[in-house]
Structure 1
């Protein structure tokens, strides 16, 4: 769906903090697998009772959790746009548009939404989430009047 620039009410690219705190379960699972693989490789080189092993394990944990958002930003390039009638999500250059009639908040005050019947984690700031919730409220309120 092509939108004119004047239709976009709010646009945001995901920042480091948003990618760190609001990632999907799939991303969290990938991080866990990366940590386990790192620990298996580390345990094959060092005895688990040595200080070197403990320091390296801590370094692997910091690297996996701390550097993953940079990787997500570089690979996925997540961008979110809010128009009067649609939520547009761009990931890895692929744009998906969801009518606000198919966007539903799952948990109050959280970043989980049901988009076209599927659960999604929106990796955006609280400002964007507030604007989305406000737009959803106005959309559904206007829909009830008709």
Structure 2
């Protein structure tokens, strides 16, 4: 659902820091699998008590965790838009629109929300999250008055 740019209250493209700190569980699992795969390859060439093995294992960990946000950003190109009535998330060119009545924060993590019943991690800045929470408050407050 495309919204005219005049309807967009706030728009943000995910930064490296946002993608590093606010990854979804799926992304974290993919990183873990990549690390394990790298360690299995490394174990074929070096004994586990060798200094080179330890240094390279540390390098693999840094590479997987540190470089994955660049890869996610290149592949997913995440863009988040907030309108008066919807949260619009664009990943890999595919845009999904969630009505604000189907968006609710989950308090175990500040960037984790329930969107249409599914738990999602939003890879956005604190500023965007504060705009979203403010908009949710106004939206819910307005709906209570109409009842």
TMscore range, shorter length? over 0.9
Question: Could you tell me which residue of structure 1 aligns to residue 45 of structure 2?
Answer: 45
Cα gap change, 1:31/1:108 in structure 2, threshold over 3 Å: closer, same or farther? closer
Gap regions ≥5 residues in structure 1? none
Q: Which runs of 4 or more aligned residues in structure 1 lie more than 6 Å from their structure 2 counterparts after TM superposition? A: none
Gap regions ≥5 residues in structure 2? none
For residues 34 and 131 of structure 1, what CA distance do their matches in structure 2 show? 35
If the length of structure 2 is used for normalisation, what is the TM-score?
0.97
For residues 3 and 72 of structure 1, what CA distance do their matches in structure 2 show? 25
Question: Could you tell me which residue of structure 1 aligns to residue 5 of structure 2?
Answer: 5
Q: CA offsets per residue over residues 18-67 of structure 1, 9 Å max, x none?
A: 00010000000000000000000000001111111111000000000000
Please say if 1:66 is aligned against 2:66: yes
For residues 6 and 23 of structure 2, what CA distance do their matches in structure 1 show? 30
For residues 111 and 67 of structure 1, what CA distance do their matches in structure 2 show? 21
If the length of structure 1 is used for normalisation, what is the TM-score?
0.98
Deviation for aligned residue 1:109:
6.2
After TM superposition, the structure 1 = structure 2 runs for residues 76-87 of structure 1, keeping only pairs within 5 Å, are 76-87=76-87
Aligned length: 146
For residues 109 and 69 of structure 2, what CA distance do their matches in structure 1 show? 22
